[in-house]
Amino acid sequence: MSNPDSGTAARHPQVARSGGDFNRQAGLRLLAYAAAGIAALVALMALLSGFGGGSGTAKAIDYERNSITLALRQEPPQMDSTKLTDQVSGMINGHVSEGLLRYDENNQLAPGVAERWEVTETNATFWLREDARWSDGSPITAHDFIFAWRKVLEPANASEYAFFLYPIKNGEAINNGTMAPETLGARALDDRTIEIEFENPIAYFEKLAAYSTYAPIKESFYESTNGRYGADADTMLYSGPFMITRWVHGASMIMERNPHYWNPERISLDRINFAYITSDTNATLNLFKADSIAYTALSTDNLPDALNQRFDMDRFMDGSVFYIGFNYRDGRATQNWHLRRALQLVNDPSELINKVIKIPGYLPGESLFPVWLKGVDGFFRQEYPAPVADRNIAEARREIALAKEQLGVTELPPLMLLSGEDPLSSRMAEYYQELFRRTLGLDVRLDKQIFKQRLAKMTAGDYDMVMAGWGPDFDDPLTFGDLMSSWNLNNRGRYNNPELDRWVRLAQSSLDQQVRMDAFGEIQRILYEDIVVLYQYERGQIYVTNPALKGMVRRAVGPDPDFSNARIVRTDTAG
């Protein structure tokens, strides 16, 4: 779109025949001008190259500097841990910040700043290690945690993830402004001991403590940034293995080894250079091909190209579950069980994965509880297998007839399917629209909206069906299990089932794992029998990494991908 209005003169009058001599001389002169022009242009470019700063010409793997180059999917909005909500910020935060606990390379909870801890039904105590240091060399103390937590709960700070701290006594009341921050049930007994009193008994507090919202912040430094904490590389302090040394917004971010990190043995890389910020997977694959970045995820569309390039691929499941949610508000046809049953009977998640998504690593959706969740002893889904409905179009049509009968209509009203704007979800929406039309004769109208408008419509209940997904916040089935409880604000379809609510309450309050898992099993059954949602898939990912980069950790819960344990191993093929 760079050509402006092309409406001005271009005429072709008769031209006097010019002699060849004239042409040659004029042409030469023209070439001389051109050469001068190009020289000036190059000089100007060199001059202007100071602006912006960014990618440089780093190679994917820099053996000399012990450094890797990567691309970020998007710019982290800010690195203020009290306001972190998105996945990219969470990933970076996992490298530059360490809370009381962390997830290790085997995805097990490991000691972080706390060297040991004790959790009972009503209390938790954390003992901090002596050698934990901020990147300015000062010790990380219990007060830094208490300050950060109060900050998260401070109403004026408007932290969106404040509810993560609600298990701490008075947390919710403080956040609502009804109690003073000093009343928070978390106290620093001394510089190195934190004692926490719970609002209610809680079985998974350790897992919460590893979450970024629980990260420490040093008060004196925070106050010195004048509300710009975490907005730039130099307006935050780092407690993790790396620290951000350069952050050019929208362009690049460089992380270097934190010299004051208490456990230097676990880090091998000296530098991680996020030299590009782009969400375009074709661009990142191009960068990978050009040996400019060491890792990229692949998409449905560029998978064949990567295959052609003979790149080594790996797969990974990111732990999130995707489904079509229904609207249960009054007056919506989707309140009708038979209609939902009909949709369930034509929904074939494996067809969706094999023919539309086309990425190995995705699993057909069968349950709201993904396969990686742990149960009592083994995996939850092995202990409590999910019931599955096979595609049965004839049966589905009978259900549609029943639905019409119950609703007292001869023709079902058009169903609004709300979807996001990313290419994959609008593709899936198109697929479902045609599937429901072809098999059931339903008139499905697509409503593709940008993120915030989709959320607004979901909250207002302005839809019948919505393509939604849910990722885990902590490593416990409850992170999925309470999603459809009547009080959960993320239950935007307002599904309300007292029986399900009862099981959720039990799972929340009980400390007996067997009782809790049984409750989740019941929740899974109700979700299936009442067809609360239509399962689509558990998301997978196919990615390529430079063969010289080893030890990158993928995980469903916590910062992903995690390069803090990564190392460079010289290979023969890698240049």
Partner 1 sequence: MGRYVIKRLIQGVITVWFIATATFWAMHQVPGDPLSNEKAVTPEIRANLEARYGLDQPPLTQYGIYLKNLLRGDFGISFTQQNREVNDIIREHFPVSATLGILAILFAASGGVLWGALTALYRNRLPDVIIMFLVILFISVPSFVIAALTQLLLVKTNDVLGFSILPVAGWGTFTHMIAPALVLGLGTMAYLTRLMRSSMLEVVNTDYVRTAKAKGLPAARIFTKHQLRNAVLPVITVLGPAIAAITTGGFVVELIFAIPGLGRYFVEAVQQLDYTVIMGTTVFYGAFLVFMVIVVDLVYGFIDPRVRVS
Partner 2 sequence: MAEITLDQDPGARPLGQSAFEPIHTQQQAQGLSRPSLSYWQDAWIRLKANRRAIISLWIVVALLAFTLIGPLLWRIDPAAQDVDQVSQSPFASRDALLVAPLEPWDLRALALAPPVTDLTLAEPATTQSVRLHWAQLPGVTGYRIYRNIFPADPDRALGLPLGEYLTPDRVTFEDRLDLKTQTYYYTVIGVTPQGLDRSRLQSLEVTPVRAITRAEAQRKGLLAEGDDVPLGTTLKLKRHPLGTDYLGRDMLARLMEGARVSLFIGICAPLLFVAFGVLYGAIAGFAGGVTDQIMMRVADFVVALPFLLFMILFKIAFGIGPGESGIMPMLIALVLLSWPATARLVRGQILQIREEGYISAAQLLGARTNYLVLRHMIPNTMGVILVTLTFAVPSAIFTEAFLSFIGMGVAPPTPSWGSMSNEGIKTMLSHPHELIFPALFISVTVLAFNLLGDGLRDALDARMRSRE
DSSP readout, 338-375?
HHHHHHHHH--HHHIIIIII--BTBEE---SS-TT-B-
**307 binds partner 1 per the rule CB under 8 A:** no
DSSP readout, 148-173?
HHHHHH-GGG--TTGGGGTTBTTHHH
**394 binds partner 1 per the rule CB under 8 A:** no
**398 binds partner 2 per the rule CB under 8 A:** no
Residues 65-104 that bind partner 1 (CB under 8 A): 71, 74-75, 77-78, 80, 83, 85-86
Write down the least CB distance from residue 292 to partner 2, Å: 18
Residues 321-350 that bind partner 2 (CB under 8 A): 350
Residue 331's nearest CA partner among 413, 405, 404, 399 is 413
**530 binds partner 2 per the rule CB under 8 A:** no
78 binds, among partner 2, partner 1, none (CB under 5 to 8 A by kind): partner 1
DSSP readout, 91-133?
HHHHHH---SEEE-TTS-EEESSEEEEEE-SSEEEEEE-TT-B
CA dihedral 220, 222, 223, 226 (to 10 degrees): 150
Number of residues interacting with partner 2: please give it, by CB under 8 A: 59
Contact 227/182 with Cβ under 8 angstroms?
no
Task: Work out the burial of residue 378: count CB atoms within 10 Å of its CB; fewer than 13 is exposed, 13-18 middle, 19 or more buried.
Answer: exposed
**446 binds partner 1 per the rule CB under 8 A:** no
Binder of partner 1 out of 116, 136, 176, 414 (CB under 8 A): 176
351 binds, among partner 1, partner 2, none (CB under 5 to 8 A by kind): partner 2
**482 binds partner 1 per the rule CB under 8 A:** no
Give the separation between CA 168 and CA 149, rounded to whole angstroms: 10
Binder of partner 1 out of 148, 275, 352, 417 (CB under 8 A): 275
16 binds, among partner 1, partner 2, none (CB under 5 to 8 A by kind): partner 1
477 strand-pairing partners: none
Binder of partner 2 out of 308, 408, 498, 570 (CB under 8 A): 308
542 binds, among partner 2, partner 1, none (CB under 5 to 8 A by kind): partner 2
Contact 186/117 with Cβ under 8 angstroms?
no
Write down the least CB distance from residue 434 to partner 2, Å: 5
Give the separation between CA 493 and CA 110, rounded to whole angstroms: 38
> Could you tell me the two tokens for 88?
């990219």
Q: Candidates 39-47, 400-408, 496-504, 531-539: pick the segment binding partner 1 (CB under 8 A).
A: 39-47
Number of residues interacting with partner 1: please give it, by CB under 8 A: 104
303 binds, among partner 2, partner 1, none (CB under 5 to 8 A by kind): partner 2
Which residue number, 3 or 18, has a Cβ lying nearer to partner 2? 3
498 binds, among partner 2, partner 1, none (CB under 5 to 8 A by kind): none
**205 binds partner 1 per the rule CB under 8 A:** no
Contact 336/407 with Cβ under 8 angstroms?
yes
What is the number of other CB atoms lying within 10 angstroms of the CB of residue 173? 16
Task: Work out the burial of residue 296: count CB atoms within 10 Å of its CB; fewer than 13 is exposed, 13-18 middle, 19 or more buried.
Answer: buried
Q: Candidates 142-150, 173-181, 257-265, 435-443: pick the segment binding partner 2 (CB under 8 A).
A: 435-443
Binder of partner 2 out of 313, 376, 455, 506 (CB under 8 A): 313
Give the separation between CA 160 and CA 322, rounded to whole angstroms: 23
83 binds, among partner 2, partner 1, none (CB under 5 to 8 A by kind): partner 1
406 binds, among partner 1, partner 2, none (CB under 5 to 8 A by kind): none
Give the separation between CA 302 and CA 307, rounded to whole angstroms: 9
23 binds, among partner 2, partner 1, none (CB under 5 to 8 A by kind): partner 1
Which residue number, 433 or 524, has a Cβ lying nearer to partner 2? 433
Binder of partner 1 out of 97, 258, 292, 367 (CB under 8 A): 292
Q: Candidates 196-204, 217-225, 449-457, 507-515: pick the segment binding partner 2 (CB under 8 A).
A: 449-457
Which residue number, 243 or 345, has a Cβ lying nearer to partner 2? 345
Give the separation between CA 199 and CA 163, rounded to whole angstroms: 12
Which residue number, 71 or 339, has a Cβ lying nearer to partner 1? 71
Which residue number, 402 or 455, has a Cβ lying nearer to partner 1? 455
Contact 544/528 with Cβ under 8 angstroms?
no
CA dihedral 259, 260, 263, 266 (to 10 degrees): -20
Which residue number, 449 or 565, has a Cβ lying nearer to partner 1? 449
Q: For the CA atoms of the chain, what is the radius of gyration?
A: 28
Residues 113-172 that bind partner 1 (CB under 8 A): 155-163
